[in-house]
Amino acid sequence: MVPVDLAQQFRARADAALERWLPAPSTHPERLHTAIRYAVMGGGKRLRPLLAYASALWLGVAPERVDGIAAALEIVHAYSLVHDDLPALDNDELRRGRPTTHVAFDVATAILVGDALQAHAYLILATDDALGVPEQARRALVLDLAAASGSAGMAGGQAMDMEASGQAVDPDRAEAICWLKTGRLLEAAVLMPCRLRSDPGPGWLEAARRFARAYGLAFQLVDDLLDIEMPAAVSGKPQGSDRRNRKTTLAALLGPQAARRRLEALRAEASGALAPWGAQAGFLRWLCETTLRPPDPA
């Protein structure tokens, strides 16, 4: 199957897994569950599920064992978007071309949607029998997700980002923010399927980490460049939202040219980490190339 079709298939798998794992909108309390589905099911690239399925393909793990992980990752990502968009944080009213959750519902509901979603991700990891892992490995999955999203991960990165707002920031700090805020969860998406193998294979975990480290940073660079250069009609969010929020992104700090060079180096590093596996890592490498394309200069 050509990669682009495989990506489409995995995206559909992720949507089906989310559909299965999220409570029906008719579940009591209805308004909360309707808002939860609005926040999660409203499109999106499903990048974290795609990375998890791609990692599983590389490792020879059957995709049905990854459905729960894919759903949990996307749910944590969705909760973080709902909270980041809130008036007290990024104050974004538009995401993927639709009103953000707190605009479509209200701020209180959006806060509770995020809170409930986070709990739901762990409920999935604790409930999913299709993982087929020894219980020891389930513990590692919970830890991977919690570490990637807590105060030493995503939430910590968002806090650092806020603190840095309107301040002079050096590139090292901006890179650290990138890594925590976005990189750690992308890394978890690549690492978690490794837990499903009793024998993770020679050098697999190390290669996964090396790949994910480069990929995570590179992905945030692409996102920053998009914010600087693309109009809202293309990106689905208001142009210059980061600048409006006085955020000094790594791309803005380096300048577009240097950011593009750094991006190229990170992309090569990510691909290089997978080199020993040749065609076996083909889809993961393709995903990396495809999702790390910088926007055409405006």
Q: Are 143 and 121 in contact (CB under 8 A)?
A: no
- Verify binding: residue 220, its own copies, rule CB under 8 A: no
> Shortest distance, CB of residue 267 to its own copies, whole angstroms?
28
Stretch near its own copies under the rule CB under 8 A, chosen from 55-63, 132-140, 193-201, 265-273: 132-140
Among 7, 70, 112, 196, binds its own copies (CB under 8 A): 112
> Pick from 41, 94, 104, 155: which binds its own copies (CB under 8 A)?
155
Residue closer to its own copies (CB basis): 98 or 138: 138
Nearer to its own copies, 13 or 48 (CB): 48
Nearer to its own copies, 132 or 150 (CB): 150
Candidate list 16, 62, 88, 268; residue touching its own copies; CB under 8 A? 88
Tell which one of 135, 172, 199, 296 touches its own copies (CB under 8 A): 135
* 3-class SS letters over the chain: CCHHHHHHHHHHHHHHHHHHHCCCCCCCCHHHHHHHHHHHHCCCCCHHHHHHHHHHHHHCCCHHHCHHHHHHHHHHHHHHHHHHCCCCCCCCCEECCEECHHHHCCHHHHHHHHHHHHHHHHHHHHHCCCCCCCHHHHHHHHHHHHHHHCCCCHHHHHHHHHHHCCCCCCHHHHHHHHHHHHHHHHHHHHHHHHHHCCCCCCCHHHHHHHHHHHHHHHHHHHHHHHHHHCCHHHHCCCCCHHHHCCCCCHHHHHCHHHHHHHHHHHHHHHHHHCHHHHHHHHHHHHHHHHHCCCCCCC
Binders of its own copies in range 164-203 (CB under 8 A): none
Least gap, CB of 174 to its own copies (angstroms): 14
Out of 46, 77, 95, 120, the only residue in the binding site for its own copies (CB under 8 A) is: 120
Q: With CB under 8 A as the rule, give the number of residues binding its own copies.
A: 54
Which residues would be at the binding site for its own copies (CB under 8 A)?
23, 27-29, 31-33, 36, 79-80, 83, 86, 88-89, 106-109, 111-112, 114-116, 118-120, 122-123, 125-127, 134-136, 138-140, 142-143, 145-147, 149-153, 155-156, 158-160, 162-163
